[in-house]
Structure 1
Amino acid sequence: MIAATRFGRPLPSGGTIGVPAPASPAENRSAIFRGVEWWEARGYRVKLGEGIFDRDDYVAGDPKTRARDLMAMFADPEVDAIQCLQGGYGSAQTIPFLDFDVIAANPKPFCGFSDITALHVAIRQRAGLATFYANGLAGVGDKDVTAFSKERLVAVLSGATTGEVPKDPDDPYTRPIRGGRVTAPIIGGCLWLLLQTMGTPWEIELDGAILFFEDYDAPAWYIDGMLTQLGHAGKLDGVRGVVVGDLEKCEWREDRPEWPRTKSLEDVLEERLEPLGVPVLYKLPLGHGKHLAALPLGVTATLDADRRTLTIDQPALEGTEEEAS
């Protein structure tokens, strides 16, 4: 398991956010401009990637161009933090064209979620950089993305990276599937994207880690199958704890009547995770749900399933007051 060894610096007041589009394109240009205006209204500057408006069906242009824009943001001394446009599809296509030495030499806060999971894994394992599972530019410009999610993102990028990960403000209930307490680096992302790293040079390494995962629109038997595959691949053998975020639209619902109703998600989680013999906590606001609590990845955290808490212990950014303390 590879924990983060490099850390960016906090986003300064009035700093510059660089925005590449390594995955899917925005629905329209207004989605991009709304995100830009959201940051500018708070006194920040935004630098868009050259290919930000490119579109090739479900991806934002060819992989080399998308990788070029991402690398440009790391190399640009004016860019203080990098926020991907959004997730969607295709970010893994860019990985062969990334220069991890340049990333390691220019550590910056890097954030995105969902399909961006592939980049979180590769960047941490190849460049050692701590990253952030958080909303992209299209998200902060979206009126349906909650103030909780946006305020948490700004706070974390500004340096407030340690402490208890907040619970859902509307429904703070979390469920310990298996009790216990453990301290270890937290690693993960969208479950489907974690599986897409299997068999690649940047295959997810989980030995000694707290595994975090979430997913979207995946029925219970998909979740079952993905966890089974991780288990068969030996990826769960050395896991020290599991944090399950939002499994949004993964339960049976009326618009998907073809999904069988024989097992609930919690049945599947119990069957696949309880036998691991490690602490497991379910339903923190991490993922595709209504609220997304920006989460540092690659840093040491404490999972206390008995107390139903996840606490980030290690600062994910350098030069913060919390680091000095």
Structure 2
Amino acid sequence: MASPHRPAAPPKARPGDRIAVLSTSFAAPAAYPAVHEQALRRLREVTGLEPVEFPTTRAHNPSPEARAADINAAFADPSIRAIQAVVGGDDLITVVPHLDADAALNDPKPFLGYSDNTHLHNWLWHLGIASYYGGSTQVHLGPGPDVDEIHARSLLAALMKGGAIELTRPGRSEDFGHDWADPRALTAEGDRRPTEPWVWLGPRRAVSGRTWGGCLEVVVDILAAGRFELGPSALAGGILLVETSEELPSATRVHRYLRALGERGLLSHVAGVMVAQPPVSSFDDQPDDETRTRRRAEQADAVERVVSRYCPHAVVVIGVPFGHTRPQWIVPYGGRITVDGMGRQVTADYL
């Protein structure tokens, strides 16, 4: 019988504790310090934690070795009780070989990040340490007039409070905000539009399991680099997290990526699949409303084709905002999520 992987949740931080703010991939604070400074202030205000920067947080083009050294140092420092990534990027695949597993195992602490940080989540997951998918100081704390309510709520749950939260539609969302070099980035929302109802597929029943997955483009890189080492049975009864990036992969590309996971045997073991609301526009590609709706529908159709072939038993929900759109729910990675196809509800347990 398959043996699922069960990562343990690290201890929560407490008010007044120190939280490391790290540029794990792209060092955005080096180029956009005003957004970074506002993010640090809001992080203090929302959580009561004290942000701590490390040598590469504001460094220009820090090396993989230097970024890994900061991650290792944050885990090794007993005064640091949580770690949050500034933003994603496209280079964490080169950082992972330099990480110190003993430092993380000796003092596990909550880690928050998404996108390229999928590499770090997968690394911690293999070590048996649960983390939290989502959260970017440069995207979700620094820009705009304030911190979105659902983001603040899940941020506190992940870092400090724990508990179970029903994930809900935010009503309006944006694919991207103002350019961080634009003064409006500090005070104004991006182009927010009404959200669409979630799409439900599969049996009308509730499933509850531990999560794995992340940004789909990065998951494919993880598999190509040979860094999924426990085998498909580790996902038995679990919930697969799937989201796509601001690179806006086509529905055809999404279908191919998911099909590859199916051929790897990963999809046949999961009990549920939670797919994020995908971004369908960018600074360089701003289509009309009809095209945006069509792109989301095409990606949902791609998911349905793969699921019907490789895991028709799975309960699937498409559209939950935990990826590259804002507002964003931060969700457990290695922790437990319940996907209820009968009640049409999603509940995350922040342990």
Name the TM-score, length of structure 1 as normaliser.
0.86
Tell me, what secondary structure is at the counterpart of 2:39? helix
Aligned mate of 1:302, from 328, 334, 338: 338
Aligned to 2:49: 44
Write the letter of the residue equivalent to 1:192: E
**Contact preservation (8 Å) 1:51, 1:66:** yes
Write the letter of the residue equivalent to 1:298: G
Check 1:48–1:130 CA distance in 2 against 1; reply closer, same or farther (3 A cut): same
Gaps of 5+ in 2: 173-194
Aligned to 1:319: none
TM superposition shift of 1:13: 1.3
Q: Which aligned runs of 4 or more in structure 1 are off by greater than 6 angstroms?
A: 250-253
Alignment of 1:138-153 (within 5 A): 138-139=138-139, 140-143=141-144, 146-153=148-155
**Contact preservation (8 Å) 1:64, 1:97:** yes
d(CA) in 2 for partners of 1:25, 1:6: 30
d(CA) in 1 for partners of 2:322, 2:43: 22
**Contact preservation (8 Å) 2:154, 2:331:** no
1:174 equivalenced with 2:174 (yes/no): no
Check 1:253–1:37 CA distance in 2 against 1; reply closer, same or farther (3 A cut): closer
**Contact preservation (8 Å) 1:113, 1:134:** yes
Write the letter of the residue equivalent to 2:212: I
d(CA) in 2 for partners of 1:191, 1:185: 18
User: Which whole-Å deviations, capped at 9, do the CAs of 1:101-129 have from their partners, x for residues lacking one?
Assistant: 2101111010001110111011111x211
Tell me, what secondary structure is at the counterpart of 2:152? helix
The number of residue pairs the alignment matches comes to: 307
Check 1:201–1:267 CA distance in 2 against 1; reply closer, same or farther (3 A cut): closer
d(CA) in 2 for partners of 1:141, 1:2: 38
d(CA) in 1 for partners of 2:198, 2:103: 40
Tell me, what secondary structure is at the counterpart of 2:80? coil
Aligned mate of 2:273, from 242, 258, 266: 242
Aligned to 1:320: none
Check 1:120–1:183 CA distance in 2 against 1; reply closer, same or farther (3 A cut): same
Aligned to 1:136: 136
d(CA) in 1 for partners of 2:281, 2:316: 19
1:254 equivalenced with 2:287 (yes/no): yes
d(CA) in 1 for partners of 2:63, 2:330: 29
d(CA) in 2 for partners of 1:90, 1:38: 27
Aligned to 1:75: 76
Check 1:240–1:130 CA distance in 2 against 1; reply closer, same or farther (3 A cut): same
Check 1:150–1:287 CA distance in 2 against 1; reply closer, same or farther (3 A cut): same
Tell me, what secondary structure is at the counterpart of 1:41? helix
d(CA) in 2 for partners of 1:133, 1:215: 13
User: Which whole-Å deviations, capped at 9, do the CAs of 1:5-32 have from their partners, x for residues lacking one?
Assistant: 3322222112211112111111422232
**Contact preservation (8 Å) 1:3, 1:299:** no
d(CA) in 1 for partners of 2:348, 2:264: 28
Check 1:195–1:186 CA distance in 2 against 1; reply closer, same or farther (3 A cut): same
TM superposition shift of 1:33: 1.5
Stretch moving more, 164-173 or 68-77: 164-173
d(CA) in 1 for partners of 2:119, 2:262: 19
TM superposition shift of 1:68: 0.4
Gaps of 5+ in 1: 317-325
Stretch moving more, 234-243 or 71-80: 234-243
d(CA) in 2 for partners of 1:86, 1:253: 23
Aligned to 1:218: 249
Check 1:151–1:299 CA distance in 2 against 1; reply closer, same or farther (3 A cut): closer
State percent identity of aligned pairs.
Answer: 24
TM superposition shift of 1:232: 2.1
d(CA) in 2 for partners of 1:44, 1:270: 42
- Root mean square deviation of aligned Cα: 2.6
Check 1:227–1:82 CA distance in 2 against 1; reply closer, same or farther (3 A cut): same
Name the TM-score, length of structure 2 as normaliser.
0.80
Aligned to 2:262: 231
Stretch moving more, 202-211 or 287-296: 202-211
Tell me, what secondary structure is at the counterpart of 1:296? strand
Write the letter of the residue equivalent to 2:227: W
